[in-house]
Structure 1
Amino acid sequence: MEISILMLIDILVTLVVSYKFFTLVKETRAIQLLNGVLILLLIRFFSGILGLKIFNSLLDQVKTVILIALPIVFQPELRRALEHIGRGNLINQLRRRDKFQTHIDKLVAAIIRLSKDKIGALIVVKRATGLKDIIDTGIELDAILSVELLINIFTPNSPLHDGAIIIDKNRLVAANCLLPITKNSNLKQSFGTRHRAALGISEESDALVIVVSEETGVVSITYDGRIESNLDEFSLKERLFSKFDELGVN
């Protein structure tokens, strides 16, 4: 009976860990590689049953190379997993969600107004990964987040309207910051420099980045190296809260 309980615990722990890992990679480019690995293991299983010795030997060599390469390829996902574990328990996250409600309302209100007026904007919401190197490229402000301040910063011809702003909790940390440009060559031609910069920083950190197009007013959001566009007020709030469990907000 004791062995059965231990086996049950073992199975449950394995399932939980596997599920959490899958949720971390399912919306990233790593999921394609993971699918390829699973297919390769499936082929190896059936080739073993059929007794294809030479083919099996070749697959074993490929498997060894993959096992060495996986930690390198999955480095961003492994880093996010460790950061997620280190951010605290569920109760603390729920408390942070209540405090962040007001910040989200202010942020979304400003973005919708910028969108209606077709004023371009690039807003980086810091999470767990430090952005000190990005902040150092701009002008530090350390100002309380407000709708009016956000709109004034991105108003054309204002001193700080170029570049990105960095938001940390309820503080506007810096403005006029430079972001790394994505090297992804498969983007739509309609995506300009702001979108490419937003993708670039989301590939190198866990930051959540919001973009307002000055040509169309379309609102987009990037995270984990992917982009979602055509967000309205409701869908933007929904996306922010759906990612809230990953946000480092106190």
Structure 2
Amino acid sequence: MKGLEFDFLKVTVTDAVDIILVALIIYYIYNLIKNTLAVNLLLGMVIILVIHWVVDALKMNLLSTIINQFMSVGIIALIVIFQPEIRRFLLLIGKNTFLQQNKAWWGYLFGSKNIERDNLVRIKPIIDACKSMKKSRTGALIVFVKFYDDQLFANSCELIDSKISKRLLESIFQKYSPLHDGAVVIAENKIKSASCILPLTDNDKLPPQFGLRHRAGIGVSETTDAVAVIVSEETGEIAYAKQGRVRMNVSFGELEKLLNKDF
């Protein structure tokens, strides 16, 4: 394809598309790793590359051999080190596909006209439970996932597999309940499990008042496609975590809209 010609280079339409795609990938990677430990890992790798270049230039054979051995694992080391970020990147791509972004239209075309009404029926007990827990200052962490990952949740949770109920949610997070520590996981329109131990976020720039409940909610939203609703035990304030970002002081109207939009 014929492109623009200059004295020192030739730029085609394909080259322009290539540059735009690379820029988008860099932008998405930046959004995934900012404010996480991955930034420090990446910086450490850059420092090792600089040292490698210096020791080669200075003919320091012993140190150069050691660094070469370390770098020989190459792509395998990158996959192991950046496994959480790679997982998040693939999830981000999947969530932004045409089919995912237009699922409401597809549901309408295939006869699912009552999806929004059904969602309101399922979400209402959750909203009511959050209202009650906010009033009583009961700490809670409710995680919503589209696909229940047995490896991630089942090994560290108590299986419930029950219909979503306001009273059940309140009883789980009640202070003296044996299940109140940890998170409740909701999937497939059911309370799948409770007392789940979740990975904490690596973000070292969160406010100091964020406790384990907030950090766990943010952490699970970083590594999976889940969203988390957090009720603060100290203030009763409701927070909403998605893709590693947290929205504070969410009203019940906003919470209902967010849950309907994401699920």
Distance 1:204 1:14 in 2: 23
Q: Per-residue displacement from partner, 1:162-203 (whole Å, max 9, x unpaired)?
A: 54321126x23234333256597x8969735x4575567567
Q: Tell me which of 10, 13, 16 is aligned to 2:21.
A: 13
The whole-number CA distance in structure 1 between the counterparts of 2:97 and 2:210 is 41
Inter-CA distance 141–116: structure 2 relative to 1 (3 Å threshold): same
Task: Say how many residue pairs are matched.
Answer: 235
Structure 1 equivalent of residue 108 of structure 2:
none
Match of residue 207 from structure 1: 226
Higher relative CO (CA 8 A, sep ≥ 6), structure 1 or 2?
Answer: 1
Specify whether residues 15 and 235 from structure 1 end up closer, same or farther in structure 2 by C-alpha distance, changes over 3 A only.
Answer: farther
What is the TM-score of this pair, normalised by structure 1? Answer: 0.63
The secondary structure found in structure 2 opposite 1:232 is coil
Q: How many angstroms apart in 1 are the aligned matches of 2:187 and 2:258?
A: 16
Indicate conservation of the 8 Å contact 2:141/2:182, yes or no.
Answer: yes
CA distance in 2 between partners of 1:235 and 1:26 (Å): 30
TM-score by length of 2: 0.61
Larger Rg computed on CA atoms: 2
Instruction: Name the aligned partner's letter for residue 177 of structure 1.
Output: S
What is the CA distance between 1:114 and its match in structure 2? 1.5
Q: Does the residue aligned with 1:92 lie in a helix, a strand or coil?
A: helix
Amino acid at match of 1:211: I
CA apart distance, 1:68: 4.6
2:235 aligned with 1:233: no
Amino acid at match of 2:137: K
Structure 2 spans left out of the alignment, 5+ residues: 4-10, 106-114
Task: Please give the alpha-carbon distance, in whole angstroms, between the structure 1 residues aligned to 2:246 and 2:35.
Answer: 12
Q: Percent identity?
A: 28
CA contact (8 A) 1:121 1:154 kept: yes
Distance 1:39 1:166 in 2: 41
Measured at CA, do residues 208 and 110 of structure 1 come closer, stay the same or move farther in structure 2, by a change above 3 Å? same
Instruction: State how far apart, in whole Å, the 2-side matches of 1:180 and 1:195 are.
Output: 11
Q: Which residue of 2 aligns with 1:138?
A: 158
Asked if 1:92 is matched to 2:100, the reply is yes
Extract unaligned runs of 5+ from structure 1.
none
